[in-house]
Structure 1
């Protein structure tokens, strides 16, 4: 009995050592904190029941479990997301302000990147995340996915080309991105469409995710004039049942980017991030208002990198 408890304590210690990594992998695979946490919990159940005496590399083994559980959940999620009301966006999470200064790290969890990852097949996404984000070798990824190394390399090449053609570019310094986000906020709060137009790129795109639960555009809005009019129209009006005078705006680092959180008396009602181009103009705005996707921010939970 005592030996069993020692083994259990050891298993828990090993799992806890890698928990943040497992969550980080699952979150990039699924795009939601709630699903990522469920995957980590399922991985723990599987890990606690395995014969660990034959596990030579616990970290690789745990990542393998997590990746395969996430793959199963992602396949189901993709079917559900086909009937989602309006644009589907990832669940935003708070990040350390320092992350915004590390281009590769901030890019890997940015809202724009996670949106791009949604266009990959589940297997392509798994290979891309493990290889390009976490640096696992193809041979190890092949073992994790129970596929040949040659097929995994093909998946990786295809995923990388797809992402390269669509990925955001984080060549604008974090300080400049914060300044542009501040200018956007000031213009939006003032409902000043002329000032908004000064910070919007001509081909800017606005994604608004209300999930059918709060007011949001049902399609992505393209072009500075349309985006400017939409933002100016909703600024200063009641939203999600909260009057303007009861709203509080705070700056936050969200998914590695300077962001804005609008709080109501009961918690967050909107999280906003802006993707800034090399000219210092906003080329994409991601606005999440679905209350189901604001729980992590409401709890103050920070994404482990």
Structure 2
């Protein structure tokens, strides 16, 4: 049996209010890279936390024959690696120790754990940081180490909440290339929240579009993302074109003027400033 990730009539949120309702996703095969896109407060982080078992939820969530919803949070994290938006806290731990500690939840043999740490450091290009303390790292470096703590555990599902947010272009590409290679090699199903639509188009197999707590669309990005959907989601006009290498690109135009937010004439703006 293929260990597809299946989500059906999934409701999740906080103690007094569900943020997302009736989310249903057809089976996501192993090795899929799935981008969660949508505006701020669309529910992307909420969905990732709920799948990880960190927020209340109702509905069905299965990985193959395993009912993840029936597992306690600690049991669920045996199958799942979760990277939050918040950066790992500064501490006196060195990076190598932090990665080795992350393997303990998997009950890896000590020798295998050490080999896994060395592999991840090499894959992410973090060898120079291995014996640096957390409190000596920049925000971007800490984000990379946080990702390394997820990768070293080799989970069946990875949930990454804006894994490129604190990174420059080079490291954004490094992160998504490494995650892509891991998905292909280890057949890890990966869901990641991201705001950069062009990175999503470049690397992912599917996109899930959320807005106002609702699932607007899901499927292959070339079929799902079109100007009409993107206007419905973000309220901006877009064009989708191909670059010289054949990759799809989203090009955004300035927001439309609406009746509720009229464009002011320069004279009106100057008069408003003068009257303050």
Which structure's residues are more often helix, by fraction? 1
Higher strand share: 2
Q: Normalising to structure 2: TM-score of the pair?
A: 0.30
TM-score (norm 1): 0.28
